[in-house]
Amino acid sequence: MLARSTFSRHIIPKACPTLYATPRAVQAGRSIHVTRAVQYKDAMPAEAHLLLQDEGYKYLDVRTAEEYAAGHTPSATNVPVVFLGIGMSPNPAFLSEVQRVFPKKDESLVVGCKSGRRSLMAIEQLSQAGYSNLVNLVGGFDLWAAQGLPVEK
């Protein structure tokens, strides 16, 4: 079970950007950004760690191979959603690589990147491909490591 600070999100088309928050989220300083029709949950690093340890979730690291090699969460699977260079270019094989590693569309996945932007890009693609149990790691690997959670190299 996810902690109270985890929120379900509905994302609507980017052509209609919206920002809304529940009263409890406003009090906690959290908001829900809306961009496309996708459902997922947010989890802070400590919550995500519990999901991975106790709830059977798998960790999908969508950073580059170089970022992953520098440090990652234990038992993470690395499939870059984009390649970095001059800007970001999408990984055309992202979905097929994820589907090879996680063939069950109801697999419970925590999706993380460096800070949170790429994980949301990945969640959007995964949701559109039929994955239904997705959790975004708020603050990404940077916050995970800063909070002293386990890191492998």
Query: Which residues are marked as active site?
Result: 113
Query: CA 59 → CA 101, 109, 128, 137, distances in Å?
Result: 11, 6, 19, 9
What are phi and psi for residue 73, nearest 5 degrees?
-70, 150
Other Cβ atoms within 10 Å of 125 Cβ, number:
17
Three-state DSSP class for 142?
helix
Give the C-alpha separation, 144 to 68, whole Å: 13
DSSP state of 91: -
Tokens encoding 149:
């959670």
